[in-house]
Structures are given as C-alpha cells and as structure tokens.
Amino acid sequence: MKTINFGLAIMMACAVSVPALAQDKPVAGEVAEGSLKGKTLTFVSYGGIYQDGQVAALQDFVQKSGVTLLNDGPTETAKLQAQVESGNVSWDVVDTADLPPYVHCGTLFQKLDFSKLDISKIPEGQVGECSVPAMNYGVVLMYKNETYKDNPPTSWKDFFDTEKFPGVRAIDGSGDPVGGLIEQGFIAAGGDVKAMTADDIEKGIEKIRALGPDTIYWKTGAESQQLAESGEADMVMMWTGRAMTAVKNGAQYTPVWQDWLVVMDQMTIPVGVKDPDASYALINAYLGKAAQEILTEKTSYTPINLDSKPKVDDATAAFLTNTPERIKQGFQQNIPFWVKNFDLASEKWSALLSGN
C-alpha cells in the first residue's frame, strides 16, 4: 500500500437533479434491482489485498444492479491524465491517494454532485469537492520496547528529540512529501502550524534532516514492516495496517497514538466518464454499512461508515482509527496549504530524500 501522506478534507455540496438511475434520496449501500443491467464499469485501485477487499465489498452491488465490474490498476495520475486529455476515459471510478483529488479537482476529477451520494455516515471533515474517502488509516509512531523500556516517547516532539531519545529513525520515503510529518517537525521547531507559511516548509524539513545520517527512508509499506519485525530501527513511522501486521508477527513495538496522522484513500470519478450516473451508483453502494464492514474484515482498514461494526479480532481492533478516542487523538494536516504549496514541498522533499 502506498503512502499516503495527507488527511484533511473540505466538505462541499452541489444541488442538481437526480437521474432516474438513482433514488430520489440515495441511501448509502442501496441500489435499484437491475438498474445497471447491460452496463460495464471499470474500477481502478492499488491491487493486492486492498483491491480484493474492495471488490468483495462491491459484490452485493454487482449482483443487485446487474452491472459487469472490471478491475484495473494500479492508480497512476499520469495514465488518467492521458485518458482525459485524449477524450477516451476507460476508468469509471478511481481510488486515489488523498492529495490528487484536491490538486486536480475539476481537471482530472469531477466535482461531485452530492445529491447523488449519501454522505451522512462519513466522519466529519472527510468529504472533498471532488472525492469521498475510500477508507481510513493512519500514520503512527511505533517505538521499540527494548530500546526505551520505562521511558518511551509519547509524541512526535519526542520523535524529533534525538538527545533525550537516541536511536535510529525510519521515515516514509515512498513518494510525495509527508505533509503531516513536516508539520510535526515545524511544531517541534517551535512553530505554530496555524500560521505556517511556504517559507516554513524548510523549517519542518530541516528538523527531519537533523535526525541524522542513520535515518532510514523506507520505500514500501512492506519495508517498514520488515524494519519493525527485524528490530533494525528504534522508531518507525508506519501505516497502521503495516504496524498491526508487524505486531501480529511478533514485533516488540508499541504505537504512540497522540497526534497520529489521519490518512485516507479517495474515491473519485474522472472527468469525461461515459456514464457518470453509473459511477455514482457504485460509489454510493461502496459507502454502505455492510460494504464497509466487508472491506474492514478483508483488509483491516478502518471503515468510513460510522454505523459499520466489522467483526475483527482484538489485535486488528486495536489499530482501527474510528473510535471516539482515536478520532480525538488524530492530527489532520492542512490539505489546502499542501495543495497550494505542493510543487515547492515536492522540490524540498526530493532534496531531503536525495541527501541534499
């Protein structure tokens, strides 16, 4: 699974007429019997257990609607851009990382008509102008029990304090700049993220750079998991799913939940799809209580329907991020800031990863 590195959304609503395909007032998880018979939809995501779980979550929709569901992937913005620019869009619903629907809203991704979707059960603040969440997870600080024993770190501030908490750090270096971590670095440097400017991006990155030359920048979630299971790093920033699996596999690490970084994949409809109403029907079904329960049970990712009650073991439940306590502890990055400053942040992040 890829990083995902930003997690705040901006809720907007549009009011236009609902097509005959949809119900007068759509209900998440419901679709009219036979309403898509003879139609074909191509769903695009990131493969592996995650996309398998999404497809399993959509089986009731497929059976009731009569649609033929095809799968493709992995999601690549460049491929989607080529489709949109050629006017030959073959992807009907696309699961993306959290930032692209904000950077490319209205150009690659349609501005959503919320009269066609039931978003009433989605956690507050997670609906964007061009996207709804596909699932929730988080980036969490994991520390090695043997290293810190009775004096463990309790915050990202401790993560950046190499004098009080010495040891090797492992950081997500898999892709785009990790805005939440840069913000936490800026906070550790004495800054106020509410007043953060473009010039302050370097201050946050400098705190990361100051962690030292032994810092490990992992490239995949599997690599981060291996770092924990082997005990190679003393503190590892990890996706919650990978952290959970590492602990299940015997890694002697403990999560720090205070200010865990909220992350979500996004469900989007590309500009230029041939049958947008069918795309809306798929997304609305996916947002349903039962569909989200299946998704979590198959993947361990947190459901985005507040009524969902997936049946999972205690170890999995411990890493779900939708409990009242976890929601209160979460840190949501400033998505509008990172969209506005994406190019600058990417340039500085790339310099960090290349050792400059």
User: What is the residue-wise DSSP string for 257-316?
Assistant: EEEEEEEEEEEE-BTT-S-HHHHHHHHHHHTSHHHHHHHHHHH-PBPS-TT------HHH
**Do 156 and 298 fall into the same domain?**
no
Are residues 209 and 270 located together in one domain of the fold? Answer: no
For residue 118, tell me if it sits in a domain.
yes
Contacts 24+ apart (CB under 8 A), 191-200: 193/334, 196/334, 196/337, 198/341, 198/344
* pLDDT at res. 303: 96
Phi and psi at 129, nearest 5°, equal -65, -30
Q: Within a domain: residue 71?
A: yes
145 & 209 share domain: yes
183: three-class secondary structure by DSSP:
helix
Residues of the domain holding 256: 137-262
Indicate whether 128 belongs to any domain: yes
HSE-up of residue 243 (Cα within 13 Å, Cβ side): 28
Distance CA 248, CA 242 (A): 10
Answer yes or no: is 287 within a domain: yes
Q: Are strands 169-172 and 132-144 parallel, antiparallel or unpaired?
A: unpaired
Residues 6+ apart with CB under 8 A from 317: none
pLDDT of residue 153: 98
| Cα distances (angstroms) measured from residue 37 to each of 27, 182, 273, 309 | 20, 48, 18, 31
The total number of structural domains that make up the chain = 2
Place of tokens 């059976």: 63
Same domain, 121 and 227: no
Task: State residue 323's pLDDT score.
Answer: 87
Domain with residue 218: its CATH number is: 3.40.190.10
Separation between Cα atoms, residue 79 and residue 210, nearest integer Å: 37
Claim to verify: residue 129 and residue 248 sit in the same structural domain: no
Q: Is 161 helix (H, G, I), strand (E, B) or coil?
A: coil
Same domain for 150 and 105: no
Is the backbone of residue 83 left (phi > 0), alpha (psi -120 to 50) or beta? Answer: alpha
Same-domain pairing of 55 and 142: no
Residues 232 and 318 in one domain: no
**Of residues 214, 149, 151, 139, the one with CA closest to residue 178:** 139
128 and 216 co-located in one domain: no
Residues in Cβ contact with 207 at an 8 Å cutoff, skipping those fewer than 6 apart: 160, 185, 186, 188, 189
Question: pTM above 0.85?
Answer: no
Per-residue pLDDT of the chain (356 residues; tens, 9 = 90+): 444 444 443 333 333 333 444 447 999 999 999 999 999 999 999 888 899 999 999 999 999 999 999 999 999 999 999 999 999 999 999 999 888 899 899 999 999 999 999 999 998 889 999 999 999 999 999 999 999 999 999 999 999 999 999 999 999 998 788 999 999 999 999 999 999 999 999 999 999 999 999 999 999 888 999 999 999 999 999 999 889 999 999 999 999 999 999 988 999 999 999 999 999 999 999 999 999 999 999 988 999 999 999 999 999 999 999 888 998 999 999 989 999 998 999 999 999 999 87
Tokens of 233: 């790093």
For residue 336, being part of any structural domain is answered with no
In a domain, 221, yes or no: yes
10 Å Cβ neighbour count for 355? 8
pLDDT of 5 reads 43
Q: Are residues 185 and 245 in the same domain?
A: yes
Same domain for 102 and 151: no
Q: Is residue 125 part of a domain?
A: yes
- Give the relative orientation of helices 200-209 and 179-188 as an angle to the nearest 10 degrees: 90
Q: Would you say residue 340 lies in a domain?
A: no
**Nearest to 268, CA basis, from 259, 280, 278, 250:** 280
The verdict on 59 and 82 lying in the same domain is yes
